[in-house]
Structure 1
Amino acid sequence: MGRRAVFGKQVFSCWIFLFSGAAVAAGSPADLSHRGGTLRLVAAGSAGTLDPQINYSAQYIDLFANVYDGLTGFRKTTGKAGDDVVPDLAEALPVPQDGGRTWVFTLRSGVRFSNGQEVTVADVVASMRRLFRVGSPTAGAFYAAMTGADLCMKDAAHCTLEGGVVADEARHTVTFHLTQPDNEFLQKLAFTHASILPAATPDHDLGNEPAIGTGPYRIVSYDPNAGMKLERNPWFRIWSEDAQPDGYADHIDYTFGLPDESAVTAVENSQYDWMYDQTPLDRLGELGARFTGQTHVSPHPVAYFAPMNVNIPPFSNEKARQAVNYAMGRKAMVIFYGGAALARPLCDMIPSAIQGHTDACPYSRGADFAHPAPHWEAPDIERAKKLVRESGTAGQKVTVVVSNGSVDLAMGNYLRSTLEEIGYKASVRPISAGVMFPYIQNSSNHVQISLKNWAADYPSPSNFLDALLGCENFHPGSDSSINMPGFCDQSIQAIMDRAKSDVSLSAEQTLDLWREADRLVTERSPIAPVIEMNVVAVTSRRLGNFFYTNVYGLLFSKVWIQ
């Protein structure tokens, strides 16, 4: 471990310089001189289904932002303004009625799908209904407040959302009726799973077949073993530069199958323009020293954490889960990710980029819940060993499931060593990045503990607390069960539900509820927070107007090829 620590210090010095100088260009949306060419993307693997209402991988969600639209969207701009919700396929953001239970949207006229078909209110109703019929992983978490959603959750095949989503063709309006107010309803409609698709879209997972969208690009071919091709949507016309700007590149080619080490070299040499996968640790110093103009460091609400299955041994025991939190070597994990310029220890479930975060840490050496440390300082191995003995789980076998990328493997092996040190017989099981996420979601696979990174769907504590640990998001035996620990605490759920629905609360009172839920979740320990990160993007010399948003990452439509 000493060589890694020394290298981490070298990387740190390089990246301090790089981070201070990495600027995000805004570009001119009206500059047509950069229009044309082919944007070339590369990743180690594909990310599963092309169905925009099912896929929950950052790899494709960020891509889908250039292909699909919802009634609302996030402003496609850099900086904090990118957190703002703006009208997309809707003409304007509605004022909620009936105490937040009724929302009336007027659909824009003249917007067409990539097949030339005009978008209608019937498409909106069918798309909302389809969320439940196809078992979208966020159907319960995001959209369960719609009238009729409870019946849809019980019997998806016969879902109608009757009374919940009502179209008025004459007025070109769609009215949503909620059973209770939802303070984040506009944000949820802006998420990719609420994309508006043609009403005739089949009510099953589309798999390798692309859905028809309204954005500036359309997917024209897909081979999950080789790659994907996109081209301009011939029917796209700008209706809102904020919601959906036009694209610069004529074509986007996405190649799969290149390992991260090879991908870095290929992008450095401008054979590709951008790589999806994390930059391997042993390449960061090289980038910071020789390729500063091609390397970009961007803040992002994203974190690594270790979900623990609360329903099977050893982590069905709360003391065993707390032991992992006390033993977690967060500083070492920071080094594995690239050093203190790129990552920071995280001790609660809300990253610092999201309001509601606290630095106080009960899982630092010498701290506890009565006397938390002001911030995480060091693991407490002795306390962790004691908790393992008290839990009666010492000596049990534990398998850590990780993605097979170099950073995740390094973290996974370190976690395995930590588990061995505190009393378990541990091993690591690496899985291809394309299948790892659905695998660890499915309780039938009996995953005990894993390592996963998680980016906010939109900037709210609910994305890290309710999404990952809400009772409604645990679906036994399903690949779409984002509550990976299988955790459900009704008293904590009640606090989160109030934070989501009580329109009488001030913004600060709502944040206080999220902080309370965070404190209680931290004590129950279904997840061990690890680190929060900045995102490192390596681009080719050809790529201009690097355009990174808080929600969508690198916005492919806004970059150009020089």
Structure 2
Amino acid sequence: MKRRRSLVLLTAGLALTASACNANPSAGSGSAAIRGGTLHILDDSPTMKEDPAKSQNFATSAIHLIVRGLTTWKTDPGKPPTVVADLATDTGEQSDGGRTWTYHLKPGLRYEDGSRITTQDIKYSVERTFAPQLSEGLAYHKTLLVGGQDYKGPLTGQDLPSIQTPDASTIVFHLNKPFGDWPWIASMPAFTGVPKSKEDVVHYQDHPLASGPYKVQSAQQGTKFVLVRNKYWDPKTDPVRTAMPDSIVIDMALNDQVINQRIIADQGIDQSSFSYVNLQAALAPKVLNNPQVKARLAISPSGLLKYLALNTHKAPLDNADVRRAIEYAVDKNAVQVAAGGPVIGGELASTLIEPGIPGYQKFDLYPAPASGDIAKAKALLAQAKFTQTTPLVLLTDNASANLAIAQAIQESLGKAGIKVTLKSEDNDSQVADSTSGKPVYDLALSSWVPDFPSAQGAIQALFGSSEIGNNGRNISQYSNPRVDAAIGAAVGQLDLSRAASQWAALDQQIMADAPIVPLYYAKNTYLRGSQVADFQLPLYPPYPNTLTVGLAGK
């Protein structure tokens, strides 16, 4: 499945009605699945990038029904995800102080054509991601592997020496620094097997050689993908995929509202379908006022962080007291209402790390009523000798829900004596402007969810000095040498429980400088048909786990 965009609001601005207060808050629904039948996934994507080099998909999405990685994620309702061995025998043996990671393949692993999966195939798969023609996937490993920054991929006839394969079942990765989260990196789509003989830069995304429980029977970009069973998949080697349906059809390029209208109606094949788009505001009453339909609505326990970035490089926001005043002044209750309320929109936020990510600890350095503390904000502004000649520019995209949130922020800051003007753009322009590193805004409305279940993705990506400009996500342009040093220490920590504690401390350290205002943890809402079973939205990621969905018995 396609990755949801990280910098836009993913939940629709659903109106919070009286019936919504009783909406089913379950993260999953449906009875236990049985083996058999055809499951339909209804999506709005015009294309399916099933080439592992091009994919940015989470380990719970549909590409991982086709391909397996060295590691993968195990998710359980109400629990944080854990990294587990997939093709490999374990999650990695580290040496050289965390700079070298070694994996051994489980015996007997086969592709859909019966050929053996080898570590040479995995090396080639990772190397493919360096080719300019195949550069759309996640790129964490490119800066970690020794020599990666200068490598241009195997299509040039060159290999990457920092990936070694001493035999067909052993692969060794040499990193340029200790990196405790490498087992999560090894779960990315690129860390599967792609035999060099199957290279097809243009068409491999239509038919990747399957190592998972399903293979592509047919692919019509813009219409549908049909997946059928891979007889060479061995369930005894797979810790996460249940492979209950006999076939899975991914229906593509559908209208968002039409998708949900079909699932609400629950007729024919739609009884065996689920939506991969969020419920829209206009359809919320149809769902929330109908108990039978509401029972088929899954709401994620938490989700991405919606936040207001404060440009710390621009006056007056270069003054920490002014930023702290904004922390108190924002009416988070009004923001939450604009987003759809606590049941559908999300819970109020006060941290940088989202619930469900190891390292999350609940705290609030700026305690105030949900509507804000204007008196406290004004006192801090007076302490900072705040004066204003021109309004602060708040950058947002022009989605209706985001505009409503921006207007709520504008109004609440106005009560504290801070004038704000809104600048709305299409999403692509807003992302480009906010990540350019140029002072084109004072405030920016944004959202973020890490690419893998580590607080590194919540902290380093948004607050590391290296992430300012050049499309980096540090849009508050926050730079603190002590924080950078602490990030480096946490990244190199090989004990992930200790790393979680380090990230939790960084959360509080950064929030003391107030570079952003956490607004709420946005929830996602997905509908399933009445015959869909084991439909789960884990703590993280807040999307359907396609690896476990099946159909109920009649």
Common topology (TM > 0.5): yes
Distance 1:269 1:190, change over 3 A: same
Partner of 1:298: 300
Distance 1:51 1:208, change over 3 A: closer
Q: Deviation per CA, 1:6-36, whole angstroms, max 9, x where unpaired?
A: 9636255222xx22x77545735xx42xx12
Which residue of 144, 149, 155 corresponds with 1:153?
A: 149
Q: CA deviation at 1:195?
A: 4.2
- TM-score (norm. length: structure 2): 0.78
Partner of 1:37: 38
Partner of 1:496: 487
Map 1:123-522 onto structure 2 (within 5 A): 123-134=121-132, 135=135, 138-140=138-140, 144-146=143-145, 148=146, 151-153=147-149, 156=152, 162-169=160-167, 172-192=169-189, 194-199=191-196, 211-218=208-215, 220-221=218-219, 223=221, 226-232=222-228, 234=230, 236-239=232-235, 240-260=237-257, 262-270=258-266, 272=270, 273-281=273-281, 283-290=283-290, 291-307=293-309, 322=324, 324-342=326-344, 343-365=346-368, 377-381=370-374, 387=381, 394-396=389-391, 398=393, 400-402=395-397, 404=399, 407-415=401-409, 417-418=411-412, 422-431=418-427, 439=432, 442-443=435-436, 448=441, 450-474=444-468, 476=470, 478=471, 481-503=472-494, 507=497, 509-522=498-511
Range moving further from structure 2, 382-391 or 84-93:
382-391
Q: CA deviation at 1:186?
A: 1.2
Distance 1:551 1:38, change over 3 A: same
SS at match of 1:65: helix
Partner of 2:4: none
Q: Are 2:23 and 1:27 equivalent residues in the alignment? A: no
Q: CA deviation at 1:540?
A: 1.9
Q: Deviation per CA, 1:487-530, whole angstroms, max 9, x where unpaired?
A: 44332121022122234x793x5444223321232244443321
Q: Per residue, is there more helix in 1 or in 2?
A: 1
Unpaired runs of at least 5, structure 1: 366-375
Asked if the contact 1:217–1:230 (Cα under 8 Å) also holds between the matched residues in 2, the reply is no
Alignment partners' CA distance in 1, 2:55 and 2:412: 33
Q: Compute the RMSD of aligned alpha carbons.
A: 4.2
The one-letter code of the counterpart of 1:251 is I
The one-letter code of the counterpart of 2:456 is S
Distance 1:166 1:308, change over 3 A: farther
Map 1:67-86 onto structure 2 (within 5 A): 67-75=66-74, 77-80=76-79, 83-86=81-84
Alignment partners' CA distance in 1, 2:309 and 2:193: 32
Distance 1:6 1:214, change over 3 A: closer
SS at match of 2:18: helix
SS at match of 2:301: strand
Asked if the contact 2:52–2:190 (Cα under 8 Å) also holds between the matched residues in 1, the reply is yes
Asked if the contact 2:211–2:233 (Cα under 8 Å) also holds between the matched residues in 1, the reply is no
Alignment partners' CA distance in 2, 1:560 and 1:397: 51
Alignment partners' CA distance in 1, 2:432 and 2:188: 23
Distance 1:423 1:412, change over 3 A: closer
Partner of 2:5: none
Alignment partners' CA distance in 1, 2:232 and 2:324: 52
Partner of 2:22: 14
Partner of 1:558: 548
Q: Deviation per CA, 1:80-123, whole angstroms, max 9, x where unpaired?
A: 2x722221111333443344343321123443445665422112
The one-letter code of the counterpart of 1:338 is G
- Identity across matched positions, percent: 17
- TM-score (norm. length: structure 1): 0.77
SS at match of 2:125: helix
